Amino acid sequence: MPKKIFPSQQHVALVYNNDKPQARHEWTRLQRWLEQRKVHVTNSSKVTTAMKNADFVVAVGGDGTVLSVVRHVAAWGLPVLGVNVGRLGFLAATEVNAMFKMLTKALAGECRVEVRTMLSVSGTIRGKKFGHHLALNDCVVRSGSSGRVLQLRAMVRDKPLASYAGDGLIISTPTGSTAYNLAASGPIVYPDLDVLLLCPICPHSLVQRPLVMPTFEIIEVEVLKPSPPALLCVDGHVSETLHPGDRVFVQRAEQQAKLLMDPDRTYYQVLQSKLKWGGS
């Protein structure tokens, strides 16, 4: 069921994408607007520990900005409200033209808090452990700059699930189902569902299809010979370089993301708007 934040918000953290001139401009407007309403504001182009005690965080940028902020504040349990100045903005609660109206709702405790599943990504590279990386959207093992075919094996409960030959493999959350997973012809999954998605990228087989799995499973992916070096990307950022014999383990994280959303807009309306599905 939708949850509401406490109605008396006094401390708001503002994080903006410094690479986007419009984000810097809107950040200045938001800061002025909040201070005029006697709200204590902590602001920066990145998350700082001074934001830990904020009531919620406003992320001004695109989906990448929201993803970055969520990964940093998830352990603190802070809700994040995205203001979209990017392209799609699936994770944003509002566009710029309605941001003050949405902030008014957030300060009044009227926004819906959506709790989203996150991924914990770890593994071994040449026998040495790495991780844990945190992801809200997805974990991707893909071919590197050579563009050569990858040979991958997925395991569940220490037993083989499937072997893949192709450009790689996406493991995503329902939130990430509208990201790389969607581009790879994976299914769109309602974000409240407690599942993980396993989606091959350009597989060299007509019978390999995306798979929806329960979140209690731990998915192991091994790079097989004679694959070229592969890249491990977490929420769009290259985290590790993998070689044959290296393994990646993906499971539901203990941390959960909290997104503040417009209480008057459903997820189906978001899909209709962002994907240009039409309708009234």
Based on the residue annotation, tell me whether 63 is a catalytic residue of this protein.
yes
Among 251, 189, 248, 186, which residue's Cα sits nearest to residue 215?
Answer: 251
**How far is 99 from 152, CA to CA, in rounded Å?**
44
Report residue 182: phi and psi, to 5°.
Answer: -65, -40
Residue of 19, 55, 63, 235 marked active site: 63
DSSP 50: G
String of DSSP letters for 65-109: HHHHHHHHHGGGT--EEEEE-SS--TT-SEEGGGHHHHHHHHHTT
String of DSSP letters for 108-171: TT-SEEEEEEEEEEEEEETTEEEEEEEESSEEEEEE-TT-PPEEEEEEETTEEEEEEEESEEEE
Q: Check residue 206 and give left, alpha or beta (phi > 0: left; psi -120 to 50: alpha).
A: alpha
Amino acid at 124: T
Amino acid at 37: R
Q: Determine the length of the chain.
A: 280
In angstroms and rounded to an integer, the radius of gyration of the C-alpha atoms of the chain is 20
CA distances from 149 to 42, 101, 180, 200 (A): 47, 49, 18, 12
Angle subtended at Cα 150 by Cα 205 and Cα 229, rounded to the nearest 5 degrees:
175
> Which residues participate in catalysis according to the annotation?
63
